[in-house]
Structure 1
Amino acid sequence: MRALVFTGPERAEVREVPEPVAAPGDVVVEVERVGVCGTDVELFTGGMSYLHSGRSSYPLRPGHEWSGTVTAAGPGVDPSWIGRRVTGDTMIACGHCRRCLAGRHHVCAGMLEVGIADGRPGALAERLAFPAAYLRALPGSVDATLGALVEPGGTSLRGVEAAALTAGERLLVLGSGTIGLLAAMFGRARGIEVHVAGRRPEDLDLVRALGFEHAWTVETLPGLAWDAVIDASNSPALPGLAVDLVEPGRRVVYIGLSGTPSLLDTRDVVLKDVTAIGILGASAGLAGTIAAYADRSVDPRPLVAATVGLDEVADVFAGHRPTGAGPGPKIHVDPRRDHG
C-alpha cells in the first residue's frame, strides 16, 4: 500500500510499504481522512523534541488525527468491529502500570503515540493497523471530516473542562489556530462568553466568520475580568501573560507549546492563587467530542481549508497552501484520492 514517510528533516515521500496485518488485539482500518497537525510539521522539520530524546526517529510514518472503516479484525477482537466507522486514541499505553490503573494512561511511561513516537506507524497511509481497545466508534452523523477532527477536539474539550467555568462566565482563548478555535467552540456550546486573541488583525477574520464577535489581538485586548484563560498559542511570551490576565483564584490552562522555553514567574501564580493546568492529548475528551459533533452543538468543519491526496502532502509540509484552500487552519488528507 501507499504511505507517507518522513525520511529525514524536511524530507517526505510517498512509498510503497507492506500491508498492515490484523495482529492479536488489532484491527485494520481503511483510512478515509487524516488531519495535518502542528506536531506532524515539527516531526517533518526535525524540531520535535522526541527526535532529540530518542522517542522518535526517521524513517517515520506520521498521522494521528484520522477516521476510517474497520476492514479486518485480529485474534481476540470482537468481529462486530468490521464495517464500523471509527477513530482512535493516539495514546497507546501498557495498561497495567500504576498510572494506567489510575486512569492516566495518556501519561504512561511506556506509552506509544500513533504516528508520533516510534512503535506505531501513523495514519497517513491507505490502511492502518490499530489496537481495538483504543478505537472509538463514530455515529452516522459524524462524517469522515468530523471524525478526523475528534482528536484535536478532544484536546480542546479537555482544556475547556479544565477551565472549570459555568455558563455566563468569561473565557479568554489565546491563539486562533485549530486548537484555540475548537476550544472557543466548546466554550460557546456551554454558554460561556468566549473571547479569542489572535496574533495579527488578519487572523481575526475567520474568528469573526465563525460567529465570535469578541475577537482581539493581544495588543487590543480590553481590560475585562477574565474568569479563565486558555493558552493555545506557540508563543513563549503568552504563558506568563495568561497568569497576568486571569482573575485571582481562577484557572489558566496550557495547551500550546512554544519552540523555545517560556517564562512564567511562579510568584505571580502564588500571589494570585492561580491554578495552572497542562493538557496533554485528547484521551479523556474523545467521547465528549464525538457526542458534541454528533448533536451539532459543535461543528468544526469550517476549520478545514482543503482536502488533498497523499501525493500533495509533502508540499503541505513544506509550507505550500493548496490551490483554492479556504481560510481555515486545518488541511485534511484523503489517502484514497490519488489511487482508486
Structure 2
Amino acid sequence: MKAFVISGPQQAGVEDVEPPTAGPGELVIDVARAGICGTDIEFYTGEMQYLHDGQTSYPIRIGHEWMGTVSAVGEGVDATWIGRRVTGDTMLGCGECHRCRTGYHHVCEFRTELGIRGGRPGALAEQVAFPAHYLHALPDSVTDAAGALVEPGGNAWRSVEAAGLREGDRVLVLGPGTIGLLCAMFARAVGAEVHLMGRSGRSLEFARTFEFDGVWTEDDLPALRWDAVIEASNALHLPAKALELVEPGKRVVYVGLAGSPSLIDSRRLVLGDLTAVGILGASAGLAPTIRSYASGTVDPTPLIAATVALDEVAGVLAGERRSNAASGPKIHVEIAR
C-alpha cells in the first residue's frame, strides 16, 4: 500500500509498504482523510522533542488526526465494526499499569502514540492498524472532514472543560491556530464571552470571520476581567503572560507548547490563588467532541484551508501553500485507494 514516510530531517515522501494486518484486539481501517498538524511539521524539520529524548526515531509514518472505515478485525474484536466509519485516540496505553486502570492511559509511561511515539505507524497511509479499545464510531451526521478534526477538537474540548467556564464568563484564548479557534468555538457553545489574542495578519483576519466577541493583538488587548485564559500558542513568553492576565482565583489552561522551555513565576500563581491546568491529548474529549459535531453545536470544517493528495504532503510540511487555499489553519489529506 501507499504510505507517507519521513526518513530524516527534510526527507520524506510516499513509499510502497506492506499493508497492516489486524492482530488480536485490533482492526484494520481504510483511511479516508487525515489532517496535518504542527507535530508533523516538527518531525519533518527534525525539531520534535521525542526525536531527541529517544521516544521515537526515523523513519516515521505520521498521521494522528484521521477518520476512515473499518475493513477487517482481528481476534477478539466484534465483527460488527466492519463497514463502520470511525476515528480513534492518539494515546494508546499499555492497558495494565495503574494509570491505565484509573483512567489516565493518555499519560501511561509505556504508551504508544499513533504516528508519533513508540514506532506505531500513523494514518497518513491507505490503511492503518488500530486497537479496538481506543476506537470511536462516527455518526452519519459527522462528515469525513469533521471526523478528521475530532482529535484536535478533543484537545480543545478538554481545555474548555478545564477552564471551568460558566455562562456569562469572559475567556481569553491565546493563539488563533486550529486548537485556539476550536477552544473559542467550544467556549462560545457553553455561553461564554470569547476573545482571542494573536499576532496581526492573516490568522487574526480569519479569526474575525467567526464573529467572536473580540479579536486582538497583544498591543491592543483591552484591560478586561478575564475569568479564564487558555494558552494555545507556541509563543515562549505567553505562558507567563497568561498568569498576569487572568483574574485572581480563576484558571489558566495550558494546551500550547513552545519549541523551547517557557518559564512562569510561581509566586504569581500562588499570590493570585490561581489554578493552572496542563492538557495533553484529546482522550477524554473525543466522545463529547463527536457529539458536539454531530449536533451542529460546533462546526470545525471552516478551519480547513485545502485538501491535498498524499503525494503533496511533503510540500505542505516544507511550507508550501496552494495559491487557491482558503484562510483556515488546517490542511487535510484525502487518501485515494
TM-score by length of 2: 0.99
Residues 195-234 of structure 1 mapped to structure 2, 5 A cutoff: 195-234=195-234
Letter in 2 for 1:6: I
Query: Shift of the alpha carbon at 1:211?
Result: 2.1
Structure 1 match to 2:272: 272
CA distance in 1, matches of 2:322, 2:285: 30
Query: Shift of the alpha carbon at 1:148?
Result: 0.4
Query: Shift of the alpha carbon at 1:201?
Result: 4.3
Structure 2 match to 1:19: 19
Residues 86-101 of structure 1 mapped to structure 2, 5 A cutoff: 86-101=86-101
Q: Tell me the alpha carbon deviations over residues 68-125 of structure 1, each in whole angstroms, 9 at most, x when there is no partner.
A: 0000111110000000000000011011111111111100000000000133100000
The answer on 1:318 being equivalent to 2:314 is no
Structure 1 match to 2:69: 69
CA distance in 2, matches of 1:27, 1:65: 17
Structure 2 match to 1:194: 194
Structure 2 match to 1:172: 172
Structure 1 match to 2:238: 238
Q: Alignment partner of 1:156: what SS?
A: helix
Contact 2:193 2:213 in 1 (8 A): no
Q: Alignment partner of 2:296: what SS?
A: coil
Between 133-142 and 196-205, the greater mean CA deviation after superposition? 196-205
Between 204-213 and 317-326, the greater mean CA deviation after superposition? 204-213
Between 237-246 and 19-28, the greater mean CA deviation after superposition? 19-28
Structure 1 match to 2:332: 332
Q: Alignment partner of 1:218: what SS?
A: coil
Query: Shift of the alpha carbon at 1:213?
Result: 3.9
Q: Alignment partner of 1:251: what SS?
A: strand
Structure 2 match to 1:49: 49
Letter in 1 for 2:249: G
CA distance in 1, matches of 2:34, 2:40: 11
Q: Tell me the alpha carbon deviations over residues 44-70 of structure 1, each in whole angstroms, 9 at most, x when there is no partner.
A: 111011001111100000000000000
Q: Tell me the alpha carbon deviations over residues 176-223 of structure 1, each in whole angstroms, 9 at most, x when there is no partner.
A: 000000000000011110000111144221111122141001111100
Contact 2:87 2:147 in 1 (8 A): yes
CA distance in 2, matches of 1:27, 1:5: 21
Structure 2 match to 1:148: 148
Q: Tell me the alpha carbon deviations over residues 264-290 of structure 1, each in whole angstroms, 9 at most, x when there is no partner.
A: 110100110111100000000000000
Structure 2 match to 1:139: 139
CA distance in 2, matches of 1:265, 1:97: 34
Query: Shift of the alpha carbon at 1:323?
Result: 3.1
Runs of 4+ residues deviating >4 angstroms: none
CA distance in 1, matches of 2:49, 2:204: 30
Contact 1:201 1:216 in 2 (8 A): no
Query: Shift of the alpha carbon at 1:22?
Result: 1.1
CA distance in 2, matches of 1:77, 1:151: 23
CA distance in 2, matches of 1:189, 1:75: 41
Q: Alignment partner of 2:311: what SS?
A: helix
Structure 2 match to 1:104: 104
Structure 1 match to 2:296: 296
Between 197-206 and 242-251, the greater mean CA deviation after superposition? 197-206
Q: Alignment partner of 2:316: what SS?
A: helix
Q: Alignment partner of 1:324: what SS?
A: coil
| CA-atom RMSD in angstroms | 0.8
CA distance in 2, matches of 1:107, 1:202: 35
CA distance in 2, matches of 1:154, 1:11: 30
Contact 2:111 2:118 in 1 (8 A): no
Structure 2 match to 1:159: 159
Contact 1:201 1:217 in 2 (8 A): no
Q: Alignment partner of 1:43: what SS?
A: helix
Between 197-206 and 245-254, the greater mean CA deviation after superposition? 197-206
Gaps of 5+ in 1: none
Identity score, percent: 61
Letter in 1 for 2:182: L
Aligned length: 337
Query: Shift of the alpha carbon at 1:320?
Result: 0.3
The answer on 1:250 being equivalent to 2:258 is no
Letter in 2 for 1:305: A
